[in-house]
Amino acid sequence: VDVKRYKVLNLEKKKYHHGDLPGQLIEAVRQLIERDGPDDFKVADAARLAGVSTAAPYRHFANRADLVRHVVIAAMGRMKEGMAQAASSHRAGDPGRVIALGRSYVEFASQEPGMFQVMFSGTSEHVHDPELKALGDETLKVVQLVVAEHLGIEIDAHEARLRAYALWCFVHGHSFLHIDSKLPEQFTDEIEDELLRLVGDAILPERT
Amino acid sequence: VDVKRYKVLNLEKKKYHHGDLPGQLIEAVRQLIERDGPDDFKVADAARLAGVSTAAPYRHFANRADLVRHVVIAAMGRMKEGMAQAASSHRAGDPGRVIALGRSYVEFASQEPGMFQVMFSGTSEHVHDPELKALGDETLKVVQLVVAEHLGIEIDAHEARLRAYALWCFVHGHSFLHIDSKLPEQFTDEIEDELLRLVGDAILPERT
DNA sequence: TGTACATCAGTGAACGCGCGTTCACTGATGTAC
DNA sequence: TGTACATCAGTGAACGCGCGTTCACTGATGTAC
């Protein structure tokens, strides 16, 4: 793999002290995960991409897993941010709101497929990290809130939770199938739209 | 990891020639994938588990990836089998049929979580294998057929395909979230039932 | 039915390489006085 | 304001280990005659 083709992130005149190496390593890993696949990036590549020696990362991260953890936290933040924004760009009653929320999720997954897999890769270590769990829960909360408002019921109502989870499953599954290019042939953007609307409507029926 | 705790698969009196080493290696890998995680099994462990030397597998499989490929093919077959059986255990009009189909999918995922991940692990090599793709398509066909019959329309109708895919997304997503133990707290079997019925009904409305 | 031989399916040991991580070091920066 | 010193953030090289894979081999099996 030709790393040299990637421009070194640290563009300014090469200083001995780096400025924000942790941040740039995280960004480097983000890029490498997309380039090489969920778990195939090399710490050394990340270092090179950030323009430092292969030993430098260990001044800031205990080990590879620790680095990944920080990368995932950053990604979760981005995702939650995107969803919160989608939700806040529609009024509470707006039927397009749920669609926008779902689309935001799917979009994240297709823009950062590698990262998406890292975030939801089952038996991976970081599943039980409390910080990550908290972030995940907050994101789910966003969905639950939107659903509850749509249905005009309490956020903690059984119905709200159930339907929110159903929607989550759907976008999650679609995201994965999309990433794995397991979707049926001729799956155009229009069909995706139709799909989102169909499911949104089915699970959160229009209030009349 | 203590391999010795696992009984060697080849129980009969140790013969030099093995009988069905390829099959037993595939079975060994299946077990190891569940034990060690989607991509963490060692070829050497599989060999030990089958009671042969570490070099033996290479008499039957070109390399590790080739072995995995065969393992996945077998798993896909199992999955398809399970779904076909679920479908055939209900009459065409039965509204419980779709539920049974979905449950079969989710059940597979929770019984073989590691394998499920290997089968649907995104950027992994075997995605573009024609034999695997064919198997996957056949499985999707099962779902499409059931959906089409439920709706009383042609299997290739746009509506049938769309709703079949929507259901697929749902069970797929739920399976993954389940595996990643990302499901909301207190998610009992009863709630799962309720969920399946809710979604089934929403996407394939009862004909009245 | 017995022997010669090709072939197949194993073995045990070692090889090799990729890559995470450590080590002894050095250059830069901040603070005390 | 200048110098001494602690501390921090880098470097380049090497280490070490896990594991897939190969190698030269040997034991078992099937077939020809």
pLDDT digits (tens, 9 = 90+) for A45-65: 999 999 999 999 999 999 999
pLDDT for res A186: 85
* Token code pair at residue B118: 């290997």
* Token code pair at residue B46: 């599989």
C-alpha–C-alpha distance, residues A26 and B177, integer Å? 26
B151 contact partners, CB below 8 Å, separation of at least 6: B157, B159, B160, B163, B204, B207
pLDDT for res B20: 92
Torsion of CA A183, B172, B113, B129, to 10 degrees: -10
Q: By CA distance, what is A113's nearest residue in B?
A: B122
Q: A122 falls in which pLDDT band (50, 70, 90)? A: low
Q: B125-184 pLDDT, tens per residue? A: 676 789 999 999 999 999 999 999 999 999 999 999 999 999 999 999 999 999 988 888
Interface test with B, best of A40, A176, A186, A194 (most B CBs within 10 A): A176
* Amino acid of residue B165: Y
| SS3 labels along B120-162 | CCCCCHHHHCHHHHHHHHHHHHHHHHHHHHHHCCCCCCHHHHH
Low-confidence ranges of chain B (pLDDT < 50): 1-8, 10-13
Query: What average pLDDT does this structure show over A16-22?
Result: 79
C-alpha–C-alpha distance, residues B166 and B162, integer Å? 6
pLDDT for res A184: 81
Q: A8 falls in which pLDDT band (50, 70, 90)? A: very low
* Token code pair at residue B113: 């979580």
Helices marked H in chain B:
21-36, 43-50, 64-88, 96-111, 113-119, 130-151, 158-179, 189-203
pLDDT for res B95: 86
C-alpha–C-alpha distance, residues B115 and A41, integer Å? 23
| A145 closest CA partner among A161, A128, A166 | A161
Q: A160 falls in which pLDDT band (50, 70, 90)? A: very high
Do B191 and B184 contact (CB within 8 A), yes or no? no
Smallest Cβ distance to B161: which of A117, A127, A184?
A184
Chain A residues whose beta carbon lies within 8 Å of the beta carbon of residue B170: 166, 169-170, 173
pLDDT for res A181: 81
Q: By CA distance, what is B138's nearest residue in A?
A: A184
> How many C-beta neighbours within 10 Å does residue B100 have?
19
pLDDT at A130 over 70: yes
pLDDT for res B128: 79
CA dist B135 → A68, B75, B83, B158, B161 (Å): 34, 10, 13, 22, 18
* Token code pair at residue A149: 């408002």
pLDDT for res B123: 64
pLDDT at A4 over 70: no
Higher pLDDT among residues A13 and A166, named by residue: A166
* Token code pair at residue B132: 């695997």
pLDDT for res B100: 97
Chain B residues whose beta carbon lies within 8 Å of the beta carbon of residue A195: 162, 165-166
Interface test with B, best of A180, A185, A196 (most B CBs within 10 A): A180
